[in-house]
Structure 1
Amino acid sequence: MDRLTGRSLDLCTGPLSRHGGGMNTKSAYVHGYSPQEARRLGDQADTLAGLLHAGTAYAAGSRVLEVGCGVGAQTVHLARSSPGARIVAIDRSAESLAQAQEYVTAREPWASVEWHIADLHDLPFGVGEFHHVFACFVLEHLPDPGRALAALRRVLRPGGTLTVIEGDHGSVVLHPDSIHAHEVIGHQVRLQAAAGGNALLGRALQPLLSDAGFDQVMVRPRTAYADATRPALVDGLTRKTFIAMVEAVRDQALSTGLTTAADWDRGIADLRLTAEEGGTFHYTFFKAVGVKPLA
Structure 2
Amino acid sequence: MVDKMDYVHGYSDRENSRLCDQASTLTMLLHHDTIYPSGSRVLEAGCGVGAQTVILARNSPKASITSIDISGESVEKARLLTEKEGVTNVSFQVADIFDLPFEEETFDHVFICFVLEHLKNPLDALLSVKKVLKKEGTITVIEGDHGSSYFYPRSDEAMQTIKCLINIQELLGGNSLIGRELYPLLNRAGFKSVSISPRMVYVDSSKPDLVEGFTKNTFNAMVEGVREQALELKMIDEKTWTKGINDLYRAAGQEGTFCYTFFKGTATK
For this structure pair, what is the TM-score category when the shorter chain's length is used for normalisation? over 0.9
| Equivalence for 1:277 | 254
CA contact (8 A) 2:4 2:10 kept: no
RMSD (Å), alpha carbons: 0.7
Deviation at 1:110, TM superposition (A): 4.1
Query: How far apart, in 2, do the equivalents of 1:232 and 1:120 lie?
Result: 34
Matched to 1:165, the amino acid is I
1:84 partnered with 2:62: yes
After superposition, where does 1:85-124 map in structure 2 within 5 Å? 85-107=63-85, 109-124=86-101
2:4 and 2:71 in contact (8 A); partners too? no
Equivalent in the alignment of 1:8? none
Contact 1:243–1:272 (8 Å) recurs in 2: yes
Q: Distance in 2 between matches of 1:40 and 1:238?
A: 11
Unaligned runs of 5+ in 2: none
Indicate the residue corresponding to 1:153 in structure 2: 130
Counting matched residue pairs gives 269
**Contact map agreement 1:226 1:282 (CA 8 A) in 2:** yes
- Compute the displacement of 1:214 (Å): 0.2
Query: Once the 2 structures are TM-superposed, how far is the Cα of residue 20 of structure 1 from its aligned partner?
Result: 2.8
Match of 1:179 in 2: 156
Superposed CA deviations along residues 16-45 of structure 1, whole A, max 9, x for unmatched, are 4x2331xxxxxx000000000000000000
Structure 1: runs of 5 or more not aligned? 1-15, 22-27
Q: Report the Cα distance in structure 1 between the residues aligned to 2:148 and 2:79, rounded to whole angstroms.
A: 33
Tell me the SS of whatever aligns to 2:26. helix
Give me the whole-angstrom Cα distance separating, in 1, the residues matched to 2:152 and 2:3: 33
2:3 is matched with 19
Give TM-score, length-normalised by structure 1. Answer: 0.90
Partner of 2:41: 63
TM-score, with structure 2 as normaliser: 0.99
- Contact 1:181 1:268 (C-alpha < 8 Å) held by counterparts: yes
Give runs of aligned pairs for residues 127-276 of structure 1, distance below 5 A.
127-276=104-253
- Cα deviations by residue, 1:80-119 (Å, 9 ceiling, x for unpaired): 1000010000001111111111111111x24211111101
Structure 1: which amino acid aligns with 2:222?
M
Aligned partners of 1:273 and 1:279 also within 8 Å: yes
Query: SS at 1:33's partner residue?
Result: coil
Q: 2: distance between equivalents of 1:278 and 1:262?
A: 24
* Percent of residue pairs identical: 50
* SS state at 1:275 partner: coil
